[in-house]
Structure 1
């Protein structure tokens, strides 16, 4: 998988990084925890500057959260939960996930958008309650950009620092990145397989509370 990511970067440069990060935020085929360290590693090899890598990753990440914002704004909480009810198995999104994101946003307000970008399980979904609450798009983009820049910088710089010791880590980059991807794929399969059970538990709980 690291070969695929490197090929995207070699073929499309910064646009490839931005595209991968955009897709990671809409539906995560490859996680940012893999994309950005590899991009930083490529920067250390002199193929592009670390500043370009961070800017590309931030722009792609920012573009990827906008659809979720507008989904929340135009669909509303009830319709999104029905969507999760119907198609959540493959999206690995349950109605309870929407509730968690809403609770996080209500508790922390606009700062949830900034700091939510640093929390893997919240990073994408926090855009939904921001849209539901009709947060001004300018405010949403500013706080999202700051949070995304921090996240992509940390990951890219980690890869960049590894790249400074190229001879020592060259043989480990591929196996480690493949192991990270394997864990994420297994987690996705687990979510798909167990979705009905967790989903049913959520609605049974709601029925009891009602």
Structure 2
């Protein structure tokens, strides 16, 4: 996996990191916990500056959460839950996940968008209730960008620090990252295999 990120950076530079982070928020084949540390690690190797890595990762993240915001803004809760029943198996998103993000947003308000970027279980889905509540876009972008910047910076600097100790950990980075990715793929397969649509709460009829 570290070879994949390395080749992506060599071929596409900051755009490749931003693209990966964008896709990670749309569909999570590779989590940010893998992408950004490895990008930071490569920055320490001189491929690009750590500031560029953080900027690219933050921009990619913010762009990746916008579709979820507009999903909530235009579809409404009933339709989103219907979508989760239909396609949640592949999106690893159940109706209970949507409701949990909605409760988080109702409890913390706008701050939920900021705090949610730091919590793996709600980091992407918190955009849905923000859209449902029609949170003003400037506020949504501000809180999302600050939270995403903190998260990507933390991950990138962790990889950057590892890169500065290259001689000590070079033999471990590749195998460890591969093990983590394999574990994530197996978890995804398990969720797909065991996914069951949930009974929806009775609400007013809404067509997709």
TM-score by length of structure 1 reads 0.93
What's the Cα RMSD here?
1.2
What residue in structure 1 maps to residue 54 of structure 2?
A: 54
Corresponding residue number in structure 2 for 1:64: 64
Asked if 1 retains the 8 angstrom alpha-carbon contact of 2:18 and 2:56, the reply is: yes
Q: Write the mapping of 1:13-92 to structure 2, written as runs, cut at 5 A.
A: 13-92=13-92
Distance 2:9 2:28 in 1: 18
Provide runs of 4+ in structure 1 moved above 4 Å.
none
Partners of 1:169 and 1:50 in 2: CA distance: 19
| Counterpart Cα distance in 2 of 1:2 and 1:162 | 13
Q: Which structure dedicates a bigger proportion of its chain to helix?
A: 1
In the alignment, is the contact (CA less than 8 A) between 2:9 and 2:47 conserved in 1? no
TM-score, normalising length: structure 2: 0.94
Aligned to 2:30, what secondary structure does the other structure show? coil
> How many equivalent residue pairs?
202
Residues 68-112 of structure 1: CA deviation (Å, up to 9, x unaligned): 000100011100000011111111111111100100000010110
> 2: distance between equivalents of 1:185 and 1:139?
35
Give structure 2 stretches of 5+ with no counterpart: 203-208
2: CA distance, partners of 1:129 / 1:113: 9
Q: Which residue of 2 aligns with 1:203?
A: 199
Alignment of 1:132 with 2:132, yes or no, is: yes
Shift of 1:2: 2.1
